[in-house]
């Protein structure tokens, strides 16, 4: 197994578990909550087959990475991403994030710029700002997040299963796009998350990324399901792409579209990455790439 050191807690090293497969232009993939780099298996194989080098890693607190008692904030997550890129000596990187992993992309660019990043893909994104406020009427009410934290405190194992049912729209997609075995595998993975990470990460979903996204000057593709019940498209992707990026909407798509609608997700990613546009620097709201995925 391969690990990258990212700090210490007391006398113990903190490390991120990662995989590095394939050859070609590097693609770094950042998973969603509460999973690990293994969540990308359907995209990883497609990208490797298309001639890309694919690096996945487990966010601190999840998968096979260290599970410290603190450090669950986007400044730290972005620094972890930077450490992965620098440790592996990656150049001309494509960043692909799903859900919580889109926050790393936004904060990385906000803090460190895009000198070594050529393009990005955000799938089911959190940015720009999820919380409903007086100036952000399309956001989600604070009480929703308070209820999530209360449910986790009461019984996080019970919460995981209810979360997965919503994540994959199991009421409509079970047996069609997601199996009992997949739900069981994801349950088994999710409950290995550090308890501190599982609880504290809920607060990170309320991060205000608006100052970060205005610094995005590389091609950005946003992919979102129109039936996403975790991060509603009207509060996230549609607002985000008013400022930057081009939006591909997956009809009937759950929050977990990298699994439930992987064919359309992979098609959009590969078409975007293969386009001449995807290597150009852009200004916010400059006409961008149009993948035309149905």
Active site residues: 99, 228, 255
Q: What is the 3-state secondary structure (H, E, C) of the chain?
A: CEEEEEEEECCEEEEEEEEEECCCEEEEEECCCCCCHHHHHHHHHHHHHCCEEEEEECCCCCCCCCCCCCCCCHHHHHHHHHHHHHHCCCCCEEEEEECHHHHHHHHHHHHHCCCCEEEEEEECCCCCECECECCECCCECHHHHHHHHHHHHHHHHHHHHHHHHHHCCHHHHECCCECHHHHHHHHHHHCCCCHHHHHHHHHHCCCECHHHHCCCCCCEEEEEECCCCCCCHHHCHHHHCCCCCEEEEECCCCCCHHHHCHHHHHHHHHHHHHCHHHHCCCCCCCCCCCCCCC
């Amino acid at each position: 197994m391969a690990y990258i050191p990212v700090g210490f807690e007391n006398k113990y090293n903190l490390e991120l578990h990662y995989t590095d497969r394939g050859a070609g232009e590097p693609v770094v993939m950042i998973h969603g909550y509460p999973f690990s780099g293994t969540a990308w298996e359907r995209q990883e194989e497609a990208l490797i087959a298309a001639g890309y080098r694919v690096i996945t890693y487990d966010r601190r607190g999840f998968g096979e990475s260290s599970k410290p008692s603190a450090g669950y904030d986007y400044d730290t997550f972005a620094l972890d991403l930077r450490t992965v890129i620098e440790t592996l000596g990656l150049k001309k990187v494509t960043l692909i994030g799903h859900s919580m992993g889109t926050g790393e992309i936004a904060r990385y660019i906000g803090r460190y710029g895009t000198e070594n990043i050529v393009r990005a893909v955000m799938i089911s994104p959190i940015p720009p700002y999820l919380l409903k406020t007086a100036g952000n009427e399309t956001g989600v009410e604070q009480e929703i997040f308070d209820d999530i934290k209360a449910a986790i405190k009461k019984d996080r194992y019970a919460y995981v299963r209810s979360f997965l049912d919503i994540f994959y729209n199991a009421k409509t997609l079970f047996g069609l796009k997601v199996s009992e075995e997949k739900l069981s595998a994801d349950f088994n993975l999710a409950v290995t998350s550090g308890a501190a990470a599982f609880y504290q990460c809920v607060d990170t979903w309320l991060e205000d990324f608006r100052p970060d996204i205005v610094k995005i000057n590389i091609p950005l593709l946003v992919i979102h399901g129109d039936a996403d019940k975790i991060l509603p498209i009207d509060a996230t992707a549609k607002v985000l792409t008013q400022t930057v990026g081009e939006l591909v909407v997956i009809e009937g798509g759950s929050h977990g579209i990298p699994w439930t609608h992987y064919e359309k997700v992979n098609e959009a990613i590969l078409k975007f990455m293969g386009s001449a546009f995807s290597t150009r620097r852009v200004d916010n709201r400059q006409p961008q790439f149009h993948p035309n995925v149905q």
